[in-house]
């Protein structure tokens, strides 16, 4: 299957700072990328969908000014958590797809805000 | 309103036996269904899919059955192995949504 990487895998930051998470499709061109958040023992919560070169579409209840998403190329999307607070601590997962339906997921990033 | 439901949060099966994971959906406009497997602290891995025009798709130990009239699908794993212990997500895709909608997941434990 297709490979999607995420960096960093784990990050700890202080409250009030910003953190950037990268998502890359390594062996295919991702026309669409998705960002999810997973709370402990819960399902995947879709945060936003981004198409290369255009603005991300955010799900209801997700603050676009807090979670900045950029999809500047067909292989890279970034999620920046701005002015992070402890309640933003979570497991963030990206996924990517080309023009097919199947989404391929990255390994996830564990964010801890102290 | 949950469009993709997995009513069993967990399931335990003896090694070597069959695991059956169930999924129900509410929207008859879905035209593609997928199963993903997820280990803790990792991203989900695509397992198998089925088009709405089919009623069965098989890949090795994994078979997905689709019953459109009942809006129900199931994933069969046989024989089950301890390495199959993970959370399994059922997902559905409709062209009108152009994205995959995930169910809440079922945690499978395969006991040696």
**What pLDDT, on a 0 to 100 scale, did the predictor assign at position B96?**
81
Comparing alpha-carbon positions, the chain B residue that sits nearest to A42 is: B104
Chain A residue whose CA is closest to B10: A41
Q: What is the pLDDT of residue B38?
A: 93
Do the beta carbons of residue A105 and residue A2 sit within 8 Å? no
Banded model confidence at residue B67, pLDDT cuts 50, 70, 90: very high
> CA B110, CA B13: separation in Å to the nearest integer?
5
Kindly list the residues from chain A whose CB atom is less than 8 angstroms away from the CB atom of residue B103. Answer: 43
Contact call for B43 and A42, based on CB within 8 A: no
**pLDDT for B111 beyond 70:** yes
A2-32 core/surface letters (b: 16 or more CB in 10 A; e: else): bebbbeeeebebeeeeebebbbbbeebebbb
Q: Which of B33, B37, B40 is nearest to B56 (CA)?
A: B33
Stretch A18-35: mean pLDDT, rounded? 94
pLDDT: is A14 or B2 the higher one?
A14
* Per-residue model confidence as pLDDT tens digits over A76-111: 999 999 999 999 999 999 999 988 888 999 999 999
Indicate if the pLDDT at residue A43 is higher than 90. Answer: no
Residue A22 has pLDDT above 90, yes or no: yes
Using 50, 70 and 90 to split pLDDT, how confident is the model at B1? low
- % chain B with pLDDT above 70: 99
Task: Over range A37-59, report the average pLDDT.
Answer: 87
CA-wise closest residue to B45 among B91, B9, B76: B91
The pLDDT assigned to B95 comes to 84
Structure tokens given for A57: 């579409």
Give the closest of A42, A103, A110 to B100, CB-based: A103
Q: What are phi and psi of A86, to 5 degrees?
A: -55, -35
| Mean pLDDT taken over chain A | 92
pLDDT score recorded for residue B99: 81
Q: How far is CA A64 from CA A3, A8, A51, A67, in A?
A: 27, 21, 15, 5
Residue A106 at interface with chain B, using a CB cutoff of 8 Å: yes
List residues of B whose CB lies inside 8 A of any A CB. Answer: 32, 34, 36, 41-46, 49, 89, 93, 99-100, 102-105
Residue B75 has which token pair?
Answer: 């994933």
The answer to whether the CB atoms of A93 and B44 lie below 8 A apart is yes
Task: Report the C-alpha gap between A35 and A21 in whole angstroms.
Answer: 10
CA-based nearest residue in chain A for residue B35: A102
d(CA B88, CA B82): 14
B19 Rama class: left (phi>0) / alpha (psi -120 to 50) / beta: beta
- CB atoms under 10 Å from CB of B10, counted, come to 10
Instruction: Kindly determine whether residue A42 and residue B44, on different chains, have CB atoms separated by under 8 Å.
Output: no
């Amino acid at each position: 299957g297709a490979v999607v990487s995420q960096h960093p895998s784990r990050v700890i930051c202080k409250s009030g700072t910003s953190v950037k998470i990268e998502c890359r499709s390594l062996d295919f061109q991702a026309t669409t990328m998705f960002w999810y958040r997973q709370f402990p023992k819960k399902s995947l919560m879709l945060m936003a969908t981004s198409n290369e070169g255009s603005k991300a579409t955010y799900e209801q209840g997700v603050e676009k000014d807090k979670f900045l998403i950029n999809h500047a190329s067909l292989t890279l999307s970034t999620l920046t958590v701005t002015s992070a607070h402890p309640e933003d601590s979570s497991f963030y997962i990206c996924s990517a797809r080309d023009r097919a339906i199947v989404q391929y997921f990255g390994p996830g990033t564990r964010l801890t805000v102290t | 309103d949950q469009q993709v439901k997995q009513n069993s949060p967990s399931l335990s099966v003896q090694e070597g036996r069959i695991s059956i994971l169930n999924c129900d959906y509410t929207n008859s406009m879905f035209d593609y269904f997928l199963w993903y497997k997820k280990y803790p602290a990792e991203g989900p891995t695509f397992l198998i899919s089925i088009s709405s025009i089919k009623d069965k798709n098989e890949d090795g130990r994994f078979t997905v059955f689709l019953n459109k009239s009942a809006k129900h699908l199931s994933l069969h794993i046989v024989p089950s192995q301890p390495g199959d212990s993970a959370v399994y997500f059922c997902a559905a895709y409709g062209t009108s949504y152009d994205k995959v909608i995930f169910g809440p997941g079922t945690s499978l434990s395969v006991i040696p």
